[in-house]
Chain A
Amino acid sequence: GNSVTQMEGPVTLSEEAFLTINCTYTATGYPSLFWYVQYPGEGLQLLLKATKADDKGSNKGFEATYRKETTSFHLEKGSVQVSDSAVYFCALSDRLSGTYKYIFGTGTRLKVLA
């Protein structure tokens, strides 16, 4: 079945460091891929998405490229800020039996230190 695997956290970085959070997936079809962010005490917010192979999603300095050959959608940011501290979820949406279904990874907690 479909699944999403994320690197375990927490990831602890100093401000202005480079960030990579790995995400790989398995899917039977041609899924859309997403990164969601969850700040403390809040719900999930869409960060970026990509709907087909080689697409690059980007938002707020974050980027992720849909790599079909490696089944990956790694999240990157060139210079993190303390305000980026949150939990990041990779997710896929695949059309199964005529309906779309979201599957989320377990989340990766990012801590950015001043």
Chain B
Amino acid sequence: EAGVVQSPRYKIIEKKQPVAFWCNPISGHNTLYWYRQNLGQGPELLIRYENEEAVDDSQLPKDRFSAERLKGVDSTLKIQPAELGDSAVYLCASSLASGTEYFGPGTRLLVL
């Protein structure tokens, strides 16, 4: 069974540029999560989807971050414009309704 797929794995951009990350969850998993993991820290939830509905986006900086999950499968997370402090690893995870979360390999973002 394929795991959670994320792309790209690495991204380097200059500040003020836009960037987008893509996630394909495990087949059949209706819940999808985006986390940000700063260096030396644990993951922090940005947004959680159940199917195509964002049910928890309280930690998403809505002035520059946006996310979508059209058709309740794949999801994209966008930052526009990026700031230096956005450098981090962005992790996508998926689960069945209330089950264990399975994580993708993450996208490592460096903002210069």
B 11-41 to A, binary, CB cutoff 8 A, 1 in contact else 0: 0000000000000000000000100000011
Interface: A49 (CB within 8 A):
yes
Closest B residue to A89 using CB positions? B42
Partner of B42, one of A41, A45, A107: A107
Q: Which A82-102 residues sit within 8 Å CB-CB of chain B?
A: 89, 91, 93, 95, 99-102
Task: List chain A residues, Cβ under 8 A from B45.
Answer: 101-102
B7 to chain A minimum Cβ distance, whole angstroms, is 13
A 32-48 to B, binary, CB cutoff 8 A, 1 in contact else 0: 00101000011111100
Q: Which B39-56 residues sit within 8 Å CB-CB of chain A?
A: 40-45, 48, 55-56
Q: Categorize the interface residue count of chain B.
A: 20 to 34
Closest A residue to B102 using CB positions? A46
Interface hit among B66-74, B75-83, B103-111? B103-111
A-B contact count (CB 8 A): 47
Task: List chain A residues, Cβ under 8 A from B103.
Answer: 36, 43-45
Q: Could you tell me the dominant secondary structure of chain A's interface residues? A: strand
Are B42's CB and A105's CB within 8 A?
yes
Are A44's CB and B100's CB within 8 A?
no
Question: What separation, in Å, do the CA atoms of A89 and B35 have in the docked complex?
Answer: 14
Are B100's CB and A34's CB within 8 A?
yes
A50 to chain B minimum Cβ distance, whole angstroms, is 12
Q: Which residues in B have some Cβ–Cβ distance to A below 8 Å?
A: 4, 6, 33, 40-45, 48, 55-56, 91, 93, 98, 100-106
* 25 sample A-B contacts, Cβ–Cβ < 8 Å, listed by A number: A4-B42, A34-B100, A36-B103, A41-B105, A42-B105, A43-B6, A43-B91, A43-B105, A43-B106, A44-B43, A45-B103, A46-B100, A46-B102, A89-B42, A91-B42, A99-B55, A99-B56, A101-B45, A101-B48, A102-B33, A102-B101, A104-B43, A104-B44, A106-B42, A107-B42
Q: Which residues in A have some Cβ–Cβ distance to B below 8 Å?
A: 4, 34, 36, 41-46, 49, 89, 91, 93, 95, 99-102, 104-107
